[in-house]
């Protein structure tokens, strides 16, 4: 039967997923696949979590929808209280939408409105980083530095975004850690000067870079240095933790490991764990106060913002993370995952780097370990690994363009926070089997 869905790939229909339990997904043919990355680091509790399902069912029975122009709802209030009731890092208000991209749009708009409210209307530009991804809606894509995803739409992206280098030590570090961080801070500062510091509203960065670079953490001192540049020029720090946040890296917020707090934090995937579509922003008290003391309104909104069932699901996911002590498991299993990658790939001639934090780990593949030269993109190494892993019963997240948006390959592993060591070992065995099988078929350099 030909599908009537406009699938991502219009030449091959995907398998039909029919059920999921724990780390396992099952398709319509009965085939079982281990969910080793939760899609793009989404399924943080795995599948079929009974507490989350019960919470969603209870909310459906009570109230499915009430428009936010007149009503708030109990699960949204409880979720916000849980996330920012204790003002983590000075973040005091939460705003819930339906995806990471929508959340990024909200962050950009809140930053822009903040400067209107405080009488700095010239601030309309955003500096983001190359080799980044902030979403696929036009604003979020404009902020993104992902070359391949931007390319078809470059002509319709706003001209208020510019990009500086990410902190990508494996490929771009010259000199000591301190020298490299100082160089990146100087580059950001120079970009402010080029644009006119009074025209810049914010600097956007993924706290740990996700799909585009593959689990790249910043060097110690990098984010404080970037924060200092933003502060010097009066711009906001917007941290995108859509992938890396809500526990994925072993702390609830990835910035907890960086020695900075953002002015606006963007969250999504681990917030609802895929049980419902939900994203959000957490905003600093001073940003919210400017709107409160000014127009009194956040001039933005969506029909489905703070959706009751989405918020009930996210609340239950966050309660499970807390009550099942899953951050501790993420840290312990993160070490297990990282060690397992090193055991299987540490000496492999085509694995140049193994990196990440918590249950967010990746390998970067290279044609030559000494020169770090990537494979020819025509070999489609990452795509072939994705298929080979799937054929062996593992869903993982390989991606290309690691070096410069066009060349380079990496594979992300992002298993559920409640994974066991045995499950992670099984995923690693399948990944190693698939990767080695693909690499063996490549032409010798």
Binding site for ligand PLP (CB under 6 A): 40, 99-101, 104, 133-136, 206, 210-211, 240, 242-243, 268, 279
Retrieve residue 443's tokens. 């032409």
Bridge partners for 113 per DSSP: none
Provide the minimum distance between the beta carbon of 196 and ligand PLP in the complex, in angstroms, as a whole number: 27
C-beta of 369: minimal distance to ligand PLP in Å?
A: 28
Identify which of residues 42 and 291 has a Cβ nearer to ligand PLP in the complex. 42
Is the Cβ of residue 40 or residue 312 nearer to ligand PLP in the bound state? 40
**Strands 125-129, 161-164: parallel, antiparallel or unpaired by DSSP?**
parallel
Nearer to ligand PLP (CB atom), residue 139 or residue 308: 139
Q: Shortest gap between Cβ of 263 and ligand PLP (angstroms)?
A: 17
The two tokens of residue 222 are 């990098």
Taking the C-alpha atoms of residue 305 and residue 271, their distance in angstroms, rounded to an integer, is 14
Give the nearer residue to ligand PLP in terms of CB position, either 305 or 393: 305
CB 379, min distance to ligand PLP, A = 25
Q: Which is nearer to ligand PLP, 204 or 338 (CB)?
A: 204
Taking the complex as a whole, the smallest distance from the CB of residue 174 to ligand PLP amounts, in Å, to 26
Angle made by CA atoms 260, 269, 374, in degrees to the nearest 5: 80
β-bridge partners, 200:
125
* C-alpha to C-alpha distance for 161 and 436, rounded to whole angstroms: 40
Residues with Cβ within 8 Å of 14's Cβ and at least 6 positions away in sequence, in order, are: 7, 8
Closer by beta carbon to ligand PLP, 100 or else 352: 100
Q: Tell the residue number behind the tokens 């703070």, with chain if given.
A: 306
> Residue 277 CB, nearest distance to ligand PLP (Å)?
8
The residue nearest ligand PLP at its CB is 100
Q: Is 38 or 197 the residue whose CB approaches ligand PLP more closely?
A: 38
Shortest Å distance, C-beta 416 to ligand PLP: 17
Q: Which is nearer to ligand PLP, 91 or 128 (CB)?
A: 128
Using DSSP bridges, classify how beta strands 91-97 and 279-284 pair: parallel, antiparallel or unpaired: antiparallel
Closer CB to ligand PLP, residue 26 or residue 149?
149
**Do 111 and 284 contact (CB within 8 A), yes or no?**
no
Dump the DSSP string for 167-185: --HHHH--S-HHHHHHHHH
Question: Is 401 in a helix, a strand, or coil?
Answer: coil
Nearer of residues 144 and 261 to ligand PLP, judged by Cβ: 144
Strand extents, DSSP E, 100-195: 125-129, 161-164
Closest to ligand PLP by CB, 242 or 327: 242
Residues near 184 by beta carbon (within 8 Å), at least 6 away in sequence: 164, 165, 167, 222, 225, 226
The full DSSP string for 277-311 is --EEEEEEHHHHHHHHHTTSS-----TTTT-HHHH
Least distance (Å) between residue 414 CB and ligand PLP: 11
Nearest distance, CB of residue 339 and ligand PLP, angstroms: 25
**What number of residues does the chain have?**
445
Number of C-alpha atoms within 13 angstroms, CB side, residue 356? 38
In angstroms, give the least distance from the CB of 41 to ligand PLP.
7
Nearer to ligand PLP, 240 or 258 (CB): 240
* Residues 173/176/182/188 CA torsion (nearest 10 deg): 0
Tokens linked to 278: 């939900």
First to last CA, the chain: 43
Residue 205: how many other CB atoms lie within 10 Å: 26
Q: How many Cβ atoms sit within 10 Å of the Cβ of residue 58?
A: 13
Minimum separation from the CB atom of position 194 to ligand PLP (A): 25
Q: Strand, coil or helix: what is 33?
A: strand
CB of 444 to ligand PLP, least distance (A): 35
């Amino acid at each position: 039967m030909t599908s009537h869905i406009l699938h991502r790939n219009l030449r091959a229909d995907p398998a039909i997923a029919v059920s999921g339990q724990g780390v396992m997904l099952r398709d319509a043919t009965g085939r079982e696949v281990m969910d080793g990355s939760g899609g793009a680091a989404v399924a943080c509790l795995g599948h079929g979590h009974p507490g989350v399902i019960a919470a969603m069912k209870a909310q459906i029975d009570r109230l499915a929808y009430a428009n936010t122009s007149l009503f708030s709802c109990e699960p949204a209030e409880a979720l916000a209280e849980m996330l920012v009731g204790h003002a983590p890092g000075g973040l005091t208000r939460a705003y819930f939408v339906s995806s990471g991209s929508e959340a990024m749009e909200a962050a950009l708009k809140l930053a822009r409105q903040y400067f209107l409210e405080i009488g700095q209307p010239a601030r309309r530009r955003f500096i983001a980083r190359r080799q980044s991804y902030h979403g696929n809606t036009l604003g979020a894509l404009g902020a993104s530095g992902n070359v391949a995803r931007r390319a078809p739409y470059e002509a319709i992206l706003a001209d208020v975004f510019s990009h500086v280098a990410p902190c990508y030590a494996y490929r771009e570090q010259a000199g000591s850690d301190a020298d490299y961080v100082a160089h990146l801070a100087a580059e950001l500062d120079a970009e402010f000067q080029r644009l006119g510091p009074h025209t810049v509203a914010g600097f956007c960065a993924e706290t740990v870079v996700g799909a585009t670079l593959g689990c790249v953490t910043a060097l110690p001192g990098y984010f404080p240095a970037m924060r200092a540049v933003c502060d010097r020029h009066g711009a906001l720090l917007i941290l995108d933790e859509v992938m890396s946040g809500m526990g994925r890296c072993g702390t609830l917020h990835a910035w907890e490991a960086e020695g900075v707090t953002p002015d606006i934090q963007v969250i999504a995937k681990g917030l609802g764990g895929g049980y419902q579509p939900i994203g959000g922003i957490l905003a600093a008290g001073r940003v919210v106060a400017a709107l409160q003391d000014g127009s009194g309104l956040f001039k933005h909104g969506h029909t489905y913002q703070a959706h009751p069932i989405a918020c009930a699901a996210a609340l239950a996911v966050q309660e499970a993370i807390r009550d099942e002590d899953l951050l501790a498991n993420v840290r312990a299993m993160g070490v297990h995952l990282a060690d397992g990658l090193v055991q299987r790939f540490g000496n492999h001639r085509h694995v140049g780097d193994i990196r990440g934090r918590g249950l967010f780990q990746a390998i970067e593949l290279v044609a030559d370990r000494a020169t770090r030269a990537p494979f020819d993109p025509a070999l489609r190494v990452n795509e072939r690994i994705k298929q080979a892993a799937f054929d062996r019963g593992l869903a993982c997240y390989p991606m290309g363009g690691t070096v410069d948006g066009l060349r380079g390959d990496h594979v992300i592993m992002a298993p559920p926070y409640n994974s066991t060591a045995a499950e992670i070992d099984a995923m690693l065995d399948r990944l190693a089997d698939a990767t080695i099988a693909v690499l063996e078929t490549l032409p010798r350099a």
